[in-house]
Amino acid sequence: MGVRPYTVLHNERRGPYCTLTVGGEVEPSEPGQFYMVRGDWGADPLLPRPLSILGEDPAAGTLSFLLKVVGRGSSLLFELEPGHKVTALGPLGRPFPMPPAPGGPPVALVGGGVGVPPLVFLARRLAAERIPYAFLQGARTKDDLLLVEDLAALGTPPLCTTEDGSAGAKGLVTAPLAVALDAGLGAVYACGPEGMLKAVAGMCAGRVPSHLSLEARMGCGYGVCLGCVVPISRGGARVYERVCQEGPVFDGEAVLWE
């Protein structure tokens, strides 16, 4: 882990989303980890932005992230062109635990919005190790469905839902998750909006393990600023843990939802 310089190689934009690929020295990471990324834009904004890893090739020296414009920092990253410079600190955080070797029940990956990229990274790893999985993606509209072709190329097309019915089944992603749980799962991995994660945790409680990747505002990314703490139950006691260090992946039954 360390702060390293990178050069933008590609920036593929679609609506408010972009897939940013940078080149430089890449330390191998695990699905669910992230980087703190900052462009060469001076003192405003001061802080880097946390971005989940979509993919990497340490041998080729490439890293990719998918982000959505939500504020000034993400807007500046969205506008980067090939050749521009960025700095990134990572890989950071606690990754998703890998399921047992092939032979057990399938697992479900449940993603929404910019929570989809780290699950795509995980899906690539599962496919490479021949571990069966289902990928469930929920979105408001068809324009918010992400990386569908990338997932299909892995051999397991995602089951998509949209709230307005513009693509896939109309409704929430929790509907196909309920069906999958009844059919039998070994575990559930999820990343996305807080409401979705809370629902997933509740559905899995007492049935199967759930591994949730939480989002939080971060200042440093390595646990010093304490700006990303969340309430967690440990041994029956309420404690506060850092999303950037003890997370971002937490046991769903341990998270105390506010």
User: Rounded CA gap, 8 and 208, in Å?
Assistant: 41
**CATH no., domain 107-213:** 3.40.50.80
Tens of pLDDT, residue by residue over 152-177, are: 999 999 999 999 999 999 999 999 99
As annotated, the residues of the chain forming the CATH 2.40.30.10 domain(s) are 2-92
Architecture of domain 216-258: Ribbon (2.10)
Q: What homologous superfamily does CATH list for 2-92?
A: Translation factors (2.40.30.10)
What is the arrangement of strands in the sheet containing 34-39, beginning at the earlier edge strand? 49-52, 34-39, 85-92, 2-14, 17-23, 62-68, 55-57
Tens of pLDDT, residue by residue over 21-47, are: 999 999 999 999 999 999 888 877 878
As annotated, the residues of the chain forming the CATH 3.40.50.80 domain(s) are 107-213
Q: What pLDDT, on the 0 to 100 scale, is given for residue 44?
A: 78
DSSP of 105-124, one letter per residue?
--EEEEEEGGGHHHHHHHHH
Which residues, 6+ apart, have CB-to-CB distance to 250 below 8 Å? 211, 212, 214, 230, 232, 241
Q: What pLDDT, on the 0 to 100 scale, is given for residue 243?
A: 94
CA–CA distance from 55 to each of 31, 210, 246 (Å)?
Answer: 9, 23, 22
Q: What pLDDT, on the 0 to 100 scale, is given for residue 218?
A: 82
User: Rounded CA gap, 47 and 32, in Å?
Assistant: 21
Cβ(220)–Cβ(244) below 8 Å: yes
Supply the mean pLDDT for the chain. 94
As annotated, the residues of the chain forming the CATH 2.10.240 domain(s) are 216-258
* Percent of the chain with pLDDT strictly greater than 70: 100
Backbone angles phi, psi at 248, to 5 degrees: -80, -10
Q: What pLDDT, on the 0 to 100 scale, is given for residue 43?
A: 77
Backbone angles phi, psi at 253, to 5 degrees: -75, -10
Q: What pLDDT, on the 0 to 100 scale, is given for residue 221?
A: 83
Cβ(241)–Cβ(247) below 8 Å: yes
What is the pTM assigned to this prediction? 0.95
